[in-house]
């Protein structure tokens, strides 16, 4: 009952953004990811994503990520991220550091909540003529997500993420992104995920509706084979 109340409260607090009747731009984000569990505590991933805006008719940019995380114990993980984005009018570097807490409601992880805080530092190599950006920016993000197993190999995720920015000495609430997605495990190490996001932009006139599709491949960690000792003959 407590879990049901918590999830319902979370949805009610953030779900109202789906009903905002303001001008929106439709985006499509498509990407591919390779994940690898290096050890019991350390994981890395390499991602490529293309984003299309202007009602999905224009390529806004390509995004290349190299991320990692390390388990700290008791459901905590420390997060590291790097990103390079480029297109005809977009070119920047970004580095991030964060902390994530996972709260499991059952031993198998079929139902859980993840809470993530993330600090990001980003900059342009040169002044951006279109957006007028010539100073480094700092982002602060807080994300809470609820994951629930629906059927075998299929999971549902609902998450909300407010974002703040420090730029030129001004600290302001920048945007709020809420996402609902379905993830399905495919044969072998493949996973596919499709989602819909509603993003409220408080520093722009238009909001964004995002349809996303991602495919991931996981390189399994090789487990050491335990060799049974050969009994000595007497």
Query: DSSP label at 15?
Result: G
**Domain extent listing, the chain:** 33-219
What are the angstrom distances between the C-alpha of 89 and each of 24, 58, 131, 209?
A: 21, 11, 9, 21
Q: Per residue in 134-147, pLDDT tens?
A: 678 899 999 999 99
Asked if pLDDT for residue 17 goes beyond 90, the answer is no
Q: Phi-psi bin for 168: left (phi > 0), alpha (psi -120 to 50), beta?
A: left
Can you give the pLDDT at residue 21? 47
Q: What is the mean pLDDT of the chain?
A: 85
Q: 74 falls in which pLDDT band (50, 70, 90)?
A: confident
Q: Judge whether residue 103 has pLDDT over 90.
A: yes
| CATH number, domain 33-219 | 2.40.160.40
With H, G, I as helix, E, B as strand and everything else as coil, classify residue 183. strand
Percent helix, strand, coil in the chain, to 5, is 10, 65, 25
Q: Is the pTM of this model over 0.75?
A: yes
What pLDDT is attached to residue 233?
A: 58
Band of the pLDDT at 19, cuts 50, 70, 90?
Answer: very low
The per-residue pLDDT for range 51-72, each reduced to its tens digit, is 999 999 999 899 999 999 999 9
Measuring CA to CA, which residue among 83, 120, 72 is closest to residue 98? 120
Say how far apart CA 135 and CA 69 lie, in whole Å.
28
């Amino acid at each position: 009952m407590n879990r049901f109340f918590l999830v319902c409260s979370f949805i009610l607090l953030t779900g109202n953004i789906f009903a905002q009747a303001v001008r929106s731009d439709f985006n499509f984000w498509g990407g591919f990811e390779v994940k690898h569990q290096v050890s019991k505590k350390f994981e890395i991933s390499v991602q490529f994503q293309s984003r299309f805006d202007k009602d999905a008719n224009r390529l806004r940019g390509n995004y290349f990520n190299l991320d990692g995380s390390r388990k700290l114990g008791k459901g905590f993980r420390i997060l590291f991220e790097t990103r390079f984005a480029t297109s005809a009018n977009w070119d920047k570097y970004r580095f991030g550091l964060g902390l994530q807490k996972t709260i499991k409601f059952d031993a198998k992880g079929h139902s859980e909540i993840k809470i993530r805080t993330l600090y990001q530092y980003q900059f342009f190599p040169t002044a951006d003529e279109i957006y007028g950006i010539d100073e480094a920016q700092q982002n602060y993000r807080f994300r809470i997500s609820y994951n629930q197993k629906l059927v075998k190999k299929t999971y549902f995720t609902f998450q909300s993420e407010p974002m703040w920015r420090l730029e030129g000495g001004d600290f302001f609430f920048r945007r709020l992104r809420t996402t609902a997605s379905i993830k399905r495990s495919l044969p072998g190490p493949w996973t596919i995920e499709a989602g819909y996001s509603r993003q409220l932009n408080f520093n722009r006139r238009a909001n964004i509706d995002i349809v996303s599709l991602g495919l991931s491949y996981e390189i399994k960690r090789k487990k050491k084979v335990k060799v049974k000792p050969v009994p000595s003959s007497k």
